[in-house]
Amino acid sequence: MPDVPLAGLRRSALHALAASIALAFAGCSEPTPADAEAEASPAANHAPVLQCLPTALLPLPLPLAEGFAATHADAATSPALAECMQSLFGSRTLKSPAAFDRAYGRVFAYHEEDGTLAPATLRHRGLRLFRLGDTGGARVWLLRIDTGTELEEAHLDVLLSTAKADGALVDQLLVGGMGLLYRRDYDVEAADAFSIREETGNARETGPGYRASYRIAPDGRFTLVSGSVLDAP
């Protein structure tokens, strides 16, 4: 065997050690963007289940005529229900008829009220929830939001649907409300069919009116069947 200088042996050993350390740390390198995204969203493949609505509620008897003016037996209200509505709606605003029919814009332009109401920021004295029934893969509900005071009663009625699969909000519409220049009322013919009517104006003049009917699809989506604007007399 030829003689090898001691310094050469030391250099070879050091090079081998450095290579081993590099290989060991290769598996600990910074994560790729995809890895970072997966770490930041550990539940990306597991959508949150929002099964917080009390499905044991007895359905409200249908058909329901002039629902905005109707009084119902007291329904349970609690902080848990308010938290459920918060998780359900998030930052969404309540839909107006304009979300389904552009022609309604003429009516809204007259009174310009309650177009951007959001449950998350809406002050209220309580919530009441009523179950209306099922439509295939969705459940249909009526939410009454008490916006009145001790001196004056006032409320908003919201028709909404949630998916049976995960309880998430599918669709919603502000079907009942009243402001200075408008009043909106509704009829619920069945769990999958409802209609609204709106009058505008005040004691001195009458504004345009609106009529619309809707169907609720098996998946919970609201579909406009017909809509018409009534010109002011």
Residues 109 and 201 in one domain: yes
Residues 110 and 211 in one domain: yes
Residues 36 and 86 in one domain: no
Q: Which of 3-12, 79-88, 132-141 has the lowest mean pLDDT?
A: 3-12
> Does 52 fall in a domain?
no
Residues 108 and 26 in one domain: no
pLDDT digits (tens, 9 = 90+) for 187-211: 999 999 999 999 999 989 999 999 9
Output the six-digit token pair for 103: 């022609």
Short-list 142, 98, 128, CA closest to 116: 98
Q: Tell me the mean pLDDT in the region 35-64.
A: 59
pLDDT digits (tens, 9 = 90+) for 116-127: 999 988 888 888
Residue, of 79 and 28, whose pLDDT is higher: 79
Residues 162 and 87 in one domain: yes
Confidence (pLDDT) at 80: 83
Short-list 214, 216, 218, 217, CA closest to 226: 214
pLDDT digits (tens, 9 = 90+) for 75-95: 667 788 888 888 999 999 999
Confidence (pLDDT) at 172: 98
Q: Tell me the mean pLDDT in the region 15-38.
A: 42
Q: Tell me the mean pLDDT in the region 54-68.
A: 86
> Does 30 fall in a domain?
yes
Short-list 127, 89, 94, 85, CA closest to 113: 94
pLDDT digits (tens, 9 = 90+) for 95-116: 999 999 999 999 999 999 999 9
The residue to which tokens 């309580």 are assigned: 126
Residues 88 and 166 in one domain: yes
> Does 60 fall in a domain?
no
Residues 209 and 137 in one domain: yes
Q: Tell me the mean pLDDT in the region 123-141.
A: 91
Percentage of residues of the chain with pLDDT beyond 90:
58
Domain of 137, in residue numbers: 79-230
Q: Which of 52-56, 146-150, 162-166, 220-224 has the lowest mean pLDDT?
A: 52-56
Residues 174 and 104 in one domain: yes
What is the sign, positive or negative, of the torsion defined by CA atoms of 86, 88, 90, 95? negative
Per the prediction, the chain carries an average pLDDT of 82
Residues 23 and 119 in one domain: no
Is pLDDT at 7 greater than 70 in this prediction? no
Residues 121 and 22 in one domain: no
> Does 50 fall in a domain?
no
> Does 67 fall in a domain?
no
> Does 58 fall in a domain?
no
Residues 156 and 226 in one domain: yes
Residues 113 and 13 in one domain: no
C-alpha torsion 81→84→85→91, nearest 10: 150
> Does 119 fall in a domain?
yes
Q: How many domains does the chain have?
A: 2
Find out whether 104 and 111 touch, Cβ atoms under 8 Å: no
Confidence (pLDDT) at 151: 82
> Does 160 fall in a domain?
yes
pLDDT digits (tens, 9 = 90+) for 49-60: 467 877 667 788
